[in-house]
Amino acid sequence: MQFFDGCVLPYPSGQVSSSRFARDLQNLGFSGCVMCGTVPEEILYDVPVLTARYLTDIQPRLLSREIGRSAMEHDLVYVQAGDAGFNRTAIQTTGIHVLTDVQNTPKDGFDRYCAQLAAERGVAIDLSVRPLVELRDVARQKVIRKYEEIFTLQNRYEFPLVLSSHASEIWHLKSPREMIRLFSLVCDDEDLLRSSLGTVSQVKNWVGPVREV
């Protein structure tokens, strides 16, 4: 089974070079990763690397234009989630592969209609492990509840899930086993968690919802 870290943030977005991230991810047991941001093309990496443009604070009317620019330079396009209206528009915009930062959306920001659209269009929902590690008390409980809602909706609509570290420092990285253990706080389906660690390597050429056989 392939394990991909769905989002790492190398320099200049983070503090670590892309080559160092790739080497450490291989040592942790990953098969590959998605690097969000500018990634040197001339480097031979230790693991397969997909590149992604990470769109934040984009007005809905500008999504198509920005995606067109991204498609020429990157394998994938990630869009930062917002309220329900924005998310519905983003999911239905051709060229978007992953909706990320859903833990920061307002209440009902990712609702049943968003879930249905994501399943129909093969747009993956990215869940970051960092809030489960870094937040405490009420803030952490809010993220846990949000993730529980996402997993409940995924069980019903079967949209693709991506699990990621969102690492900008080496110490943010977690091994596949650690990520599964942390996400088991909100999901007891270990098979789903394992398969979600490989989803991003398939999502660009998505042909339908994930179904366990």
Directed axis angle between helix 112-121 and helix 84-91, to 10°?
10
Q: State how far the Cα of 189 lies from the Cα of 154, in Å rounded to an integer.
A: 12
**Which residues, 6 or more positions from 98, have their beta carbon under 8 angstroms from its beta carbon?**
6, 52, 76, 77, 78, 79, 123, 124, 125, 126, 162, 200, 203
Q: State how far the Cα of 183 lies from the Cα of 144, in Å rounded to an integer.
A: 9
**pTM value?**
0.92
Cα Rg, the chain, nearest whole Å: 16
Q: State how far the Cα of 197 lies from the Cα of 189, in Å rounded to an integer.
A: 13
Strands (E), 14-141: 32-36, 49-55, 76-80, 98-100, 124-128
| pLDDT (tens place) for every residue of the chain, 213 residues total | 899 999 999 999 999 999 999 999 999 999 999 999 888 877 889 999 999 999 999 999 999 888 887 777 788 999 999 999 999 999 999 999 999 999 999 989 999 999 999 999 999 999 999 999 999 999 999 999 999 999 999 999 999 999 999 999 999 999 999 999 999 999 999 999 999 999 998 887 654 443 332
What pLDDT score does 213 carry?
A: 26
Distances in whole angstroms, Cα of residue 136 to Cα of each of 61, 103, 122, 133, 166: 36, 14, 33, 8, 18
The structural domains of the chain, with segments of one domain joined by +, span 4-205
CATH of domain 4-205: 3.20.20.140
What pLDDT score does 205 carry?
A: 66
What pLDDT score does 28 carry?
A: 98
